[in-house]
Structure 1
Amino acid sequence: MMRMLTRRDFIRFSALAAGAIAVGGGLAGCASGDVLRVGTKIDVPGFGFQNPESGNIEGFEVDIARELAARIKGDPNKLEVTGVNVTTRGIMLDNGTLDATLATFTITEARKKSYNFSQPYFTDHIGVLVKKDAGITELADLDGKTVGVASSATTRDKLTQAGDEIGIHMQFAEYATYPEIKIALVTGRVDAFSVDRSILMGYLDDSTMLLDAQFAPQEYGIATKKTNTELAGQIDDALQDMMDDGTLAALEEKWGLEDA
C-alpha cells in the first residue's frame, strides 16, 4: 500500500522539497543522448518521493520512467531522474534540461498547445484534505474558507467550478510544493488542502481526513517538448506496450494505486 509520511519524514523532507535532485545518470542537464532525462515529483508518496533514508527518488512514476528507458534506450539504468515541482516541470522541458516529465501532469487542452502528451497512464480525481477538528465534513462547509492549492495546477479552477455549482465561494492560497501546503494546513494558515486524491493520501495523518467529495477526473500524461515528436511517439508506443503486457497494472499494484 501507499506509504504515508511519518512526522520525522515530513520534517526532514520539507527541507528538500524546493530542490531538484538528480539520480541515476549524473547531474541534471549533463546527460548524453543515450540517457533518458525524466522529471518526476519528489514530494508525492507513491508516485515520486525522495526517500529520507536513502535519498533515492522512488514511486510509480519513477518505475514507469525506468521501463521507458528499458524499452526506448535498451537499459533501465540509462535513466536520469530529476526532482521537479508544479512550477519547474514545464520550465525544465522548455529549456532542454529534461526530455520528458512524468510528474502527475494532468492533460488539458491548454497544456497540449505547449507540450506533446502521451495517452493517459493514470486517472485520478481532485479531493480535499482537512483537519478532523475543523468541523468541515462536506464541500459546502468550505464556503468562505481558504484552500491551499499548488501553483500552476488545475485544482483552483476545478474547485471553483465545483463551488459555483453548489453556490459557495472559497479563497485560495497558492504554494510551490505540497509539503508547504500541508504545513499551512497544520498551522492554520489554510482551512483545507486540495489536489488529486492519490497525492493527498500521502499526506494523511491522525489529525487529518479526506472529504468524501471527489470530482473533476485528472488524466496524467507524459509530457515532452512540442518539437520532439520522435520521442513523443516512442514514449506513447512504449506506454501502450506496458498496458498491453500488464506491466502498468503490475506497477499500480506494487504502489497500492490499483484502487485509487
Structure 2
Amino acid sequence: MKKLIRYLGLLTSLCVLALVLSSCGTKKAASQSVLSRAEETNTIVWGVKADTKLFGLMDVKDSQIKGFDVDIAKALTKQILGSKGKASFIQVSSQTRIPLLKNGNIDAVVATMTITPDRQKVVDFSDHYFNAGQSLLVKKGSSVKSVKDLDKTGTRVLAVTGANSVANFQKVAPKARVLELQDYAQALQALKSGQGQALTTDNGILLGMAAENPGYQVVGSAFTKEPYGIAVNKGQKAFVNKINQALKKIRENGEYDRIVKKWFGNISGFDYKEAEK
C-alpha cells in the first residue's frame, strides 16, 4: 500500500512538472521575436476564421480555408518575407483567437477582429485594413427593419460569443435579450430555427450569409463602426511595423484593391469602397 501511495505521489509530481514545463515552453515561444522566427522559417503562421463566408471559410472540396482575410495574409506574407515566403493558417474563432495568440500558437490574427480599447490592453494591432459596421440579418418578410425594432422586452437576438457585437447591441437595444452561440454557423442555424428574431454582427459577415441563404437579408444601416486590425502579441513592435509597411505597399501597388473586389465586388448591398478607406 505504501509503495502504491509513493508511486501515485511520484506520478502526480511528474504530471505537475510536465504542465509547468509545457507552460514555460509556451510562454517562451510567445515571448520570442516573431519576426526573427518568421524569417528563419520563411513562414508566418496566421490565425484565420473558417466559418465566415467572404472572410475565411473552409472549402470542403479541398479542405482549404479561403476568403478575404486569407488572401490579405498571403499578400502580406510575400511583402514581409519575399516571393517565396509561406503563409500557414490555423483556424480560430472569436473565443480562441486571443488565447492562441498569447500562447504563441500563431504569429498574428487576421480574422474580422475589430480594434477596441479593451483588446488593445491585451494585444497590439496593425493599422486597420478593413472598415465594417454592425448590422442585422433577418428572414425576408420580417417586421424587423432596424435595430430600434428590437429594443423590446421579450425580443431575442442572436450573436457569437467573444465578438464585440454582443456589447455593441446591448448598448443600442438594452431591452432585448442576446443569445450567444459558439460560432456563426450555429448562430445562422439558430436564426433559421426561430430561436431569435435577428442575428447581429458586422455587415460584411452578414452579407456573406445572405449571399448563401437567399431567404435572408441584411436590414437597417450600420449602427457601429468596426475597423478591423491584425492582432499581434505585445512586445512585437518590429513585426507590427513590418505588417504596417506591407499593408501600405499592397494598397499602393493595387493588390489590396484587387482582393477587395475579388471578394466583395459582386456582393449586393456592400459598399466595398467604404470598406477600403
Aligned match of 2:24? none
Identify if the C-alpha distance between structure 1 residues 76 and 171 changes in structure 2 by more than 3 Å, giving closer, same or farther.
farther
Q: Distance in 1 between matches of 2:119 and 2:84?
A: 28
Q: Deviations over 1:166-185 (max 9, x none)?
A: xxx11011112000000110
Aligned match of 2:224? 216
Match of 1:182 among 183, 188, 198: 188
Q: Distance in 2 between matches of 1:220 and 1:86?
A: 13
**Comparing both structures, which one devotes a greater share of its residues to helix?**
2
Identify if the C-alpha distance between structure 1 residues 185 and 237 changes in structure 2 by more than 3 Å, giving closer, same or farther.
same
Letter in 1 for 2:166: R
Aligned match of 1:162? 172
1:152 maps to 2:175: no
| Greater gyration radius | 2
TM-score under structure 2 length normalisation? 0.77
Secondary structure of the corresponding residue to residue 242 of structure 2:
helix
Aligned match of 2:147? 139
Q: Distance in 2 between matches of 1:148 and 1:195?
A: 9
Match of 2:234 among 222, 226, 238: 226
Of 137-146 and 77-86, the range deviating more from structure 2: 137-146
* Corresponding pairs, count: 226
- How far does residue 232 in structure 1 lie from its aligned partner after superposition? 1.1
In structure 2, list runs of 5 or more residues that go unmatched: 1-37, 266-271
> What is the percent sequence identity of the aligned residues?
30
Asked whether the equivalents of residues 69 and 76 of structure 1 are also in contact (C-alpha less than 8 Å), the reply is no
Asked whether the equivalents of residues 140 and 216 of structure 2 are also in contact (C-alpha less than 8 Å), the reply is yes
Secondary structure of the corresponding residue to residue 202 of structure 1:
helix
Q: Distance in 2 between matches of 1:77 and 1:212?
A: 42
Asked whether the equivalents of residues 42 and 85 of structure 2 are also in contact (C-alpha less than 8 Å), the reply is no
Asked whether the equivalents of residues 134 and 203 of structure 2 are also in contact (C-alpha less than 8 Å), the reply is yes
Asked whether the equivalents of residues 49 and 58 of structure 1 are also in contact (C-alpha less than 8 Å), the reply is yes
Asked whether the equivalents of residues 66 and 76 of structure 1 are also in contact (C-alpha less than 8 Å), the reply is no
- How far does residue 133 in structure 1 lie from its aligned partner after superposition? 4.1
1:172 maps to 2:182: no
Q: Distance in 1 between matches of 2:256 and 2:198?
A: 32
Q: Deviations over 1:90-146 (max 9, x none)?
A: 111011000001000000111111111011110010010112244222322212311
Aligned match of 1:206? 214
Q: Distance in 1 between matches of 2:131 and 2:84?
A: 25
1:255 maps to 2:258: no
TM-score under structure 1 length normalisation? 0.82
Q: Distance in 2 between matches of 1:252 and 1:74?
A: 22
Q: Supply the RMSD in Å over aligned alpha carbons.
A: 1.7
Secondary structure of the corresponding residue to residue 206 of structure 2:
helix
Larger relative CO (CA 8 A, sep 6+): 1 or 2?
1
Match of 2:198 among 180, 187, 192: 192
Letter in 2 for 1:157: A
Of 173-182 and 242-251, the range deviating more from structure 2: 242-251
Secondary structure of the corresponding residue to residue 243 of structure 1:
helix
Q: Deviations over 1:65-100 (max 9, x none)?
A: 111111112236511111111011111101100000
In structure 1, list runs of 5 or more residues that go unmatched: 1-30
Q: Distance in 2 between matches of 1:43 and 1:131?
A: 20
Asked whether the equivalents of residues 46 and 59 of structure 1 are also in contact (C-alpha less than 8 Å), the reply is yes
